Amino acid sequence: MHINLIQNKNYRLFKIISETAFLHGQSVYIIGGYVRDLLMKRATPSDIDFVTEGSGIELAQNIAKTLSPTLKVSIFKTYGTAMFRYHDLELEFVGARKESYSEESRNPEVESGTLREDQLRRDFTINAMAISLNKENFGMLVDPFEGKQDLENKILRTPLEPHQTYSDDPLRMMRAIRFATTLNFRVDEPSLAAIRQEAGRIKIVSMERIMVEFNKIMLSQKPSSGLKLMEQTGLLKLIIPELTALKGIEEVEGQTHKDNFYHTLEVVDNISLHTENLWLRWAALLHDIGKAPTKKFAEGTGWTFHGHEFLGSKMVKNLFQRLKLPLGQDMKYVQKLVKLSSRPIALVTDDASDSALRRLLYDAGEDLEDLFTLCKADITTKNAKKQQHFKKNFDYVAAKIKEVEAKDHIRNFQPPISGEELMELFGLKPGREIGVLKESVKEAILEGKISNSKEEALHFVLSEARKLGLSPA
């Protein structure tokens, strides 16, 4: 089959690469994701991989020289690869190779090979297709494993026997699930069976590499399809056992609870309709992780999960550390949303006090809207009337909070009187008394005893100071 590259925006570049390779007696092919996305009529990636039956490093250096004498080529001798940036493209060149793996490592021993041997070592048939840029057959599709047919059938298969593919490089198990999720493809049955059998091999892969694939699943249109595949193949239990611990329904005295694992997947899908924010999606994924360790059956009450939000937020840090996820603001954001995830629903009453609303506003701060997005995503009832009722309740709380916010300016709260001003007022150095006074002002504002104004705060703090035996300097 011939691929017409004339209309391709990179046609001129491909012709230069073709002519340069010909002049130096080398073959050259586009291979991998660029070919796949071109055939799928998707937006083609800005990184393009090329393979040659010869030295990829030499070819890269010769092409870079032809394009511009100032181009800097990065060389990776161990794998015989070289890459450089050209305008908005990242071009990588590799010599065709064959690989062999040991049991303990996913780093292969590499030997020079033919184009077919190089295609055979690729992860999936849809990523093993190549387009020739050689003069004699420019634009010809080289597809020895029927990858184009698999594209049309929306199926993921491996060029090699799947057990070997996944055992050799266990990260490919995550890649299989990621591609199935992001492309809406089906993993073929032999591959699924092999992933189940080889799942334990994922332990030799660095957590950073695993999380790159996992986060691509989390950012997909419907993350639950990938998370279900991970659960069915045993990968999820090995990577995030806190989630699979939520699976299952128990019954005591005829009383059951919902399956919190499948509920969580629904919440993640719901929130994905409304946000591209990866960490808000993570908050949805982890919002109920405290339910497994807090689950209890109480006579006359039924199943309870008291304090699951607080415990869940504490679990987030250990989980992020283990998964090598960022421990700064992103983690704190997820912790905060998990901890607050049940707070708004408790305020859905006409007698919810302004102080309770102020406290939620204070605790959520600039993440209040994200908290409400999470709370609405947490509504997974299939009863349309109930769903509408719950959403109206949240809108009601949001409206009440808006009124309180307009009046009291609590969001991103800054004390109307600072610690420095208090020290100057009472002639004190930093110490316990200043902390007590600052906290008492904050509490008085949140409780509605005084307004969020400097004048009232000053008057209040003078009376509080007298209780501590303090007087103005």
Residue 92 and residue 74: Cα distance in Å, rounded? 9
Instruction: Give the amino acid at 30.
Output: I
Residue 443 and residue 436: Cα distance in Å, rounded? 11
Instruction: Give the amino acid at 71.
Output: L
Interior CA angle at 360 toward 357 and 365, to 5°?
125
Share of the chain above pLDDT 70, in %: 93
Residue 9 and residue 11: Cα distance in Å, rounded? 6
> What is the CATH number that goes with domain 11-151?
3.30.460.10
**Please, which residues have CB within 8 angstroms of residue 279's CB and are 6 or more apart in sequence?**
330, 333, 334
End-to-end CA distance of the chain: 90
Bridge partners of 155, per DSSP, are: 186
The per-residue pLDDT for 352 is: 66
Is the pLDDT confidence value at 263 over 60?
yes
Render pLDDT for 20-62 as a digit per residue (tens, 0 to 9).
999 999 999 999 999 999 999 998 889 999 999 989 999 999 9
Max intra-chain CA distance, the chain: 95
Pick 366 or 18 by higher pLDDT.
Answer: 18
The per-residue pLDDT for 349 is: 59
pTM for the model stands at: 0.85
CATH 1.10.110.30 fits domain 154-239: yes
Closest CA to 26 of 133, 139, 126: 133
The per-residue pLDDT for 257 is: 66
- Name the burial class of residue 399, with classes exposed (0-12), middle (13-18) and buried (19+) by CB atoms within 10 angstroms of its CB: exposed
Closest CA to 293 of 277, 309, 279: 309
Residue 272 and residue 269: Cα distance in Å, rounded? 5
Residue 375 and residue 248: Cα distance in Å, rounded? 23
> φ, ψ for residue 155 (rounded to 5)?
-130, 145
**Lowest-pLDDT range of 12-16, 145-149, 192-196, 352-356:** 352-356
Query: How many residues would you count in the chain?
Result: 473
Average pLDDT over residues 68-84: 90
Within 10 angstroms of residue 256's Cβ, the number of other Cβ atoms is 11
Q: What is the mean pLDDT of the chain?
A: 89
**Lowest-pLDDT range of 213-217, 258-262, 279-283, 329-333:** 258-262
The per-residue pLDDT for 100 is: 58
Q: How confident is the model at residue 108 (pLDDT cuts 50, 70, 90)?
A: low
> φ, ψ for residue 261 (rounded to 5)?
-70, -50
Residue 265 and residue 231: Cα distance in Å, rounded? 11
Which range has highest mean pLDDT (53-57, 137-141, 251-255, 406-410)? Answer: 137-141
Distances (CA, A) of 158 to 121, 122, 172, 384, 472: 9, 8, 10, 43, 79
Residue 418 and residue 401: Cα distance in Å, rounded? 26
* Domain segments of the chain as ranges: 11-151, 154-239, 419-467
The per-residue pLDDT for 158 is: 96
